[in-house]
Chains A and B, each alone.
Chain A
Amino acid sequence: MKKHMVYSIGRFILLTLYVLAAVFPLYWIIITSLKGPKEIYTMPLQYLPTTATLDSYRKLFSFSSFSLYFRNSLLVAFLSSLLAMAVSILSGFSLSRYPKQRTKGILQLALYFTQTIPTFLIMVPIFTMFSKLGWVDSTGALMLVYVATVIAFSTIMSKGFFDRIPVSLEEAAKIDGCSMFQSLLYVVLPITRPGMAAIFCFAFINIWNELFLAVMLLMSNDKMTVPVALNSFISKAGISWDVMSAGIVIALLPTMIVFGFGQKYIVAGLTEGSVKG
């Protein structure tokens, strides 16, 4: 019992220390967003705003159509992640069950290979390709690109989830008369639902925060996404920290929510597949 107590206290201290270290940047951003422009640059440093104000947030929404960009990002991230998730179900399952080892190995290599590619290398070719197709300034085209950027990792993750599910389940289903597709759909998939949620979360967070492709491939101001909007607060004369900090806080909310939900599923998803019968 005593050992347990020591362990609990030790854990509490360590975790709290880490939480403090992890949270203080966010704290700084939040209080900066609550200070007025005159207070942001004062010395000595103000750890608490002397007069908390929501002016920066007001400025953010009235001044720069931020709510429109927010909606754009929500749409883009949500749909792309959904599509990526759906596609990765197919590819992950297939890769997991693929009979020929050699091809399987090569395919996996091809997937890992995509992770070595710097975005800047493909930025210009994609832009040139899209401009020939007339797809510049298209939210739909951007979503397709985003799916492509996350599909490799999504497939790897998906394969991992399916690996944990014993083939015996599908075989049992087959014996019961299901086709390959049906067994995937009705037997295997329901078990991996948490895993799929996890893939959705990963994809969502990555896409939500993506900057460079969005800047390059979109044109009209009303199609901008949140990272682009935040980046536009940097101008020749400097960074407008009042709207920037407010923007960062607002931009963090959806990812935190998705992440909050996702955590449970990611952990559950990665554990559930293990053999319990």
Chain B
Amino acid sequence: MERKFYRWMLVPAFLFLTAFIYYPVLRGSVMAFQNYNLFDLNQLRFNGFDNFKAVLSDPHIRFAQILFNTAIWLFGSLFFQFVLGFGLALLLKKPFAGRGLYTAFVFYGWALSGFAIGLTWAWLFNGQFGLVNDMLIRIGLLSEPIGFLSNPNLAMISVIIPNIWYGVPFFGIMLLAALQSVPNELYEAATLDGAGSIRKFTSVTVPYVKPTIVSTILLRTMWIVNFPDIIYAMTNGGPVNRTNILATQMINKVFKEYDYGQGSAIGLIIMILLFAYAMLYLRMTEKKGGDTL
């Protein structure tokens, strides 16, 4: 009886998902196996794995470089988003005067749209008229401006920075909530046992917050990989393909080259990689039964 009730309750959500997500994904995936190029749709036919082969072996836009970029983008952003988010959450955990204001200012970045952030930071990092260069020169750290977005070695870092700025709020909020949900009794008990702050952190805080950390990181991973807006607005994948990630190359194929076949192929590759990663990740972090956020 109960199970029936629960099943009915799931119907609305999964109805939405099936109609607008699962079904379109299937249709979209089919395009990956067709020579779906808007330039000429008269010769539409299935072309097996040709799109995948084309993407993987493109001599000008090297796939290996794109994968590498995606990895750096992901782990670079994730690491700092997490560390800073956690740090901020720890700082904001205990109430103090003006906490509300600080929280608002520190976390507002997330309320902006990705492309607005990209455009703004492109300007801030500009080699000639950018705020960052100007300030660094005024402080005296630099003698002449740096081309943040045009130097192949600096470009990736320069696009990761706004991404960190954008992603910290999410981690911060989630971790703040998790930290505040640790029951005080546990801390009191630990103090009675003679534990110092560090010990309390490692044996009380971290284990309690771990499930939240685990799920938040997984979600952020998927979101970061599928987030081309900032890079697209700042460098469009350049210079020399050094900030091109899977998602931005997908945009290029779809919007600039009208090649939906190859674009969808890249989309499938993204999905497969993320899914495999998620499986591995979950196995490694050994989720027991129900997970908590």
Contacts and interface: CB of A to CB of B under 8 A. Distances in A.
A41 B111 contact: no
Given A11-B91, A117-B271, A239-B119, A255 B12 contact: no
Interface string B179-194: 0110100000000000
Interface in A186-224: 205, 209, 211
A116 B177 contact: no
A107 interface: yes
B108 A22 contact: yes
Interface stretch (A51-59, A60-68, A268-276): A268-276
Contacts of A100: 3
Interface size class of chain A, counting residues whose CB lies under 8 Å from the partner chain: 35 or more
Given A107-B10, A267-B180, A115 B219 contact: yes
Interface in B84-111: 84, 87-88, 91-92, 96, 100, 102-111
A63 to B, nearest CB: 19
Contact of B12 (A19, A90, A252): A90
A129 interface: yes
A24 B117 CA distance: 12
A50 B119 CA distance: 24
Contacts of A21: 165
Contacts of A269: 177
Interface in B1-48: 2-3, 5-7, 9-10, 12-14, 16-17, 19-25, 27-29, 31
B24 A122 contact: yes
A269 B183 CA distance: 15
A247 to B, nearest CB: 9
B13 A87 contact: yes
Contacts, number: 237
B222 to A, nearest CB: 4
Contacts of A275: 183
Contact of B292 (A44, A104, A148, A160): A160
Interface string A60-86: 000000000000000000000000000
Contacts of A15: 88, 91-92, 102, 106
Interface in A151-189: 151-153, 155-157, 159-161, 163-164, 180-181
Interface stretch (B58-66, B72-80, B246-254): B246-254
A223 B25 CA distance: 27
Interface stretch (B149-157, B234-242, B260-268): B260-268
B69 interface: no
B113 A211 contact: yes
B218 interface: yes
A152 B219 CA distance: 11
Contacts of B131: 24, 28, 45
Of A160, A163, A266, most B-chain CB atoms within 10 Å: A160
B116 to A, nearest CB: 5
Contacts of B16: 87, 144, 147-148, 151
Given A15-B91, A271-B180, A153 B134 contact: no
Contacts of A125: 23-25, 27-28
Contacts of A19: 102, 105-106
A273 B109 CA distance: 28
B3 A99 contact: yes
Given A120-B251, A260-B104, A180 B5 contact: yes
Contact of A180 (B2, B20, B115, B247): B2
B111 A256 contact: yes
B21 A114 contact: yes
A129 B121 CA distance: 37
A131 interface: no
A274 B181 contact: yes
B130 to A, nearest CB: 8
A266 to B, nearest CB: 6
B112 interface: yes
A93 B2 CA distance: 13
Contact of A22 (B14, B109, B120, B226): B109
Contacts of B105: 19, 22-23
Contact of A271 (B177, B247, B293): B177
Contacts of B29: 121
A112 B278 contact: yes
B275 interface: yes
B222 A115 contact: yes
A205 B10 contact: no
Given A90-B13, A124-B31, A144-B20, A266 B177 contact: yes
Contacts of B226: 115-119
Task: Please give me the 3 A-B residue pairs with the lowest Cβ-Cβ distance, nearest first.
Answer: A160-B293, A270-B177, A148-B20
Given A21-B165, A28-B120, A94-B7, 19 more contacts: A11-B91, A19-B102, A94-B10, A99-B2, A101-B289, A112-B222, A114-B17, A117-B25, A118-B250, A120-B263, A121-B264, A151-B17, A153-B219, A209-B113, A211-B113, A211-B229, A267-B180, A270-B178, A274-B181
20 contacts: A15-B92, A45-B134, A97-B6, A112-B218, A115-B223, A117-B25, A118-B271, A125-B28, A126-B20, A151-B17, A152-B17, A160-B215, A163-B293, A227-B113, A230-B113, A259-B108, A270-B174, A270-B181, A273-B181, A274-B181
